[in-house]
Amino acid sequence: MMKRQPPPSNEFTSGSRLRPLAWEKGNHRVAQLNISLPRGKVATLEFDGQAEVFVTNHEVLFKPFFQKGVLDFEGVRRMPLDGYEFLRTLYDRLFLTGYSVTWKWVNHSPKSDFSMKSRM
């Protein structure tokens, strides 16, 4: 019996929800958005898909999005319960409104010292 080979690290599973593939045991990847703010500050929003938790260091910037959701290009309102779809839609919205946004995959769990946690 042949062993299945893992896909490239940035590949997703198919289905209605995008989920990152973690092939190695103990591999814990977290999606992270970094938004550059004035005076050299950075607002960070992390989504841990395994624990289904959002963590941020800038509650004021993200709170309206968590409460009202974000409209995607198809006109569907994405809420935090949508996980990666919410994060992808938020990235698109912030980028199109002029924010300098970067998306990273981080191989650790969310930082515990961040101020806002939203359990799905």
pLDDT band at 29 (very low <50, low <70, confident <90, very high): confident
Q: What is the pLDDT of residue 108?
A: 63
pLDDT band at 106 (very low <50, low <70, confident <90, very high): confident
User: Does residue 23 carry a pLDDT above 50?
Assistant: no
Q: What is the pLDDT of residue 27?
A: 58
User: Does residue 45 carry a pLDDT above 90?
Assistant: yes
**Cα distance between residue 18 and residue 57, in whole Å:** 24
What is the token pair recorded at 118?
């939203």
Give me the phi and psi of 54, to 5 degrees please. -100, 140
Domain boundaries defined on the chain: 30-110
Interval 59-77 mean pLDDT:
92
Interval 62-81 mean pLDDT:
93
**Cα distance between residue 63 and residue 116, in whole Å:** 9
Strand partners of residue 36: 42, 100
CB 31 within 8 A of CB 12: no
Q: What is the pLDDT of residue 14?
A: 31
User: Does residue 110 carry a pLDDT above 90?
Assistant: no
CB 8 within 8 A of CB 24: no
What count of other Cβ atoms lies within 10 Å of the Cβ of residue 11? 9
Residue written as tokens 């938790």?
Answer: 53
CB 89 within 8 A of CB 72: yes
